[in-house]
Amino acid sequence: MDRIKSTEGDLIVRDGRFAIVATRFNDFIVESLIKGALHCLRQHGAVDGNVELFRVPGAFEMSIAIDKVAATRRFDGIIALGAVIRGATPHFGYVAGECVRGITTASQKHGVPIGNGVLTVDTIEQAIERAGTKAGNKGEEAARAVIEMVNFLRSID
């Protein structure tokens, strides 16, 4: 293993520009995810002037917004934040599936790392746990993944 070159990204923001695309639906959860993402970006060296927040109605609308933001080429990384909570109808599966598909498609199409901080949970309690209590803050985790991937992609360019 000593002779094999290894590449990975680090967690130091170097002049990076970041977009956060966040839903307004389930805002009481999403606000905590936004705070977690911003905390992480700042902690690793991002400057507030290089971070822009875009708000969309819900997770279903997120795909087109992320695609449009990525297409601008103004951002090194994008953080997607939202909460889809299962209800009594099959609506959950459609919304969650299309949201994840849109995030993945935009990332591959534009070559921009996108951190998926969209919670897909069965209960409000699970969402609360993942937005900063027992299970950490998934907004912070998505931001951390984006920082690392931005640096990883830069290292191989």
Q: State the catalytic residues.
A: 91
Alpha carbon distance 108, 106 (integer Å): 5
Structure tokens at 85: 């909570």
Residue in the block written with tokens 């299970």 = 135
Closest CA to 77 of 36, 110, 33, 39: 110
